[in-house]
Amino acid sequence: MVDLNINKKERKIHSYKVLGTNQKKEALEELLNDPSQENFVLLSKKFNTTTRNLRRWYNQGYMRKGGCGRKKINPQGVIRLEEWILEETRKQGRKISRNQIKEQAIKIFNIESFKASKAWMDKFIKEQNLKFKIKQILLENCLLSKCQIIKHKQIQNNLKEKKFERSSTKKQQKRIKLEQLKTKYIMGNLDQIIVQDFQIGQKQNTIKLENNNKEDDMYFTASFEQEARQFENNYGEQLYLGFD
């Protein structure tokens, strides 16, 4: 038996874990088989999630609803901020500090709750690939050292390789899909041809049987007529000679 009466102080704080659809489906199937409170607690430990999530999946389903998740704040503002950063790097000929970016972001978005935190800044720089774009501008203006140029070229080559791999994988996927479609089409046509051949074979067999039956009938009728004529001739001769 699982001890359900646990004090809040004694409860351990678990790190939040995002489960995939297969794990959610597995947990829900086990709950449908046994929806007891003990099973909820056991499954929460097994899948490292809360009983609240398990109850929500049990009552409402595990599929994510459309429109869920945090939405982006003013996408046009993100474009304006990126353009401002790139323009300032061209003008000043150096990197823009994070404090300057933070001040400009607060001005552009103009939302009281928006503070341009470090986490938001890191995500913004990563999503817009600003480090690479800024170094590219500095490289064009000959403002990078030799070591920085070598590193930047290595990053460029890596990006090209990744892009080539993605394009090649997409091409391979397209080829595989085309080959699958071709095989399905060919197999479908083969099935039709086999059916047609079978039907033609059946028709040919029926025609042969009919022809054979006709030949047999002709043979029997011809032989019967010949025997009857011979009997008639012989019997007639016997009557003529005086035999009974």
Residue 99 confidence (pLDDT): 93
Residue 202 confidence (pLDDT): 66
Non-local CB neighbours of 154 within 8 Å, separated by 6+ positions: none
**CB-CB contact of 127 with 133 (8 Å):** no
Q: How many whole angstroms separate alpha carbon 196 and alpha carbon 198?
A: 5
Q: How many whole angstroms separate alpha carbon 109 and alpha carbon 81?
A: 9
100 has a pLDDT exceeding 90: yes
Residue 10 confidence (pLDDT): 46
Q: Locate the domains of the chain by residue range.
A: 21-60, 75-144
Buried b (16+ CB within 10 A) or exposed e, 81-118: bbebbbebbeeeeebbeeeebbebbeebbeeeeeebee
The more confidently predicted of residues 147 and 214 is 147
Residue 162 confidence (pLDDT): 76
Structure tokens at 57: 């999946």
Average pLDDT over residues 105-125: 89
Write down the mean pLDDT value for the chain. 75
State pLDDT tens for residues 79-90: 899 999 999 999
Q: Choose from 18-22, 95-99, 138-142, 170-174 the range with maximum mean pLDDT.
A: 95-99
Residue 211 confidence (pLDDT): 61
| Least confidently predicted of 37-41, 73-77, 239-243 | 239-243
74 has a pLDDT exceeding 60: yes
1 has a pLDDT exceeding 50: no
Of the chain, the percentage scoring pLDDT greater than 70 comes to: 64
244 has a pLDDT exceeding 70: no
Buried b (16+ CB within 10 A) or exposed e, 160-184: eeeeeeeeeeeeeeeeeeeeeeeee
Residue 67 confidence (pLDDT): 54
Residue 241 confidence (pLDDT): 47
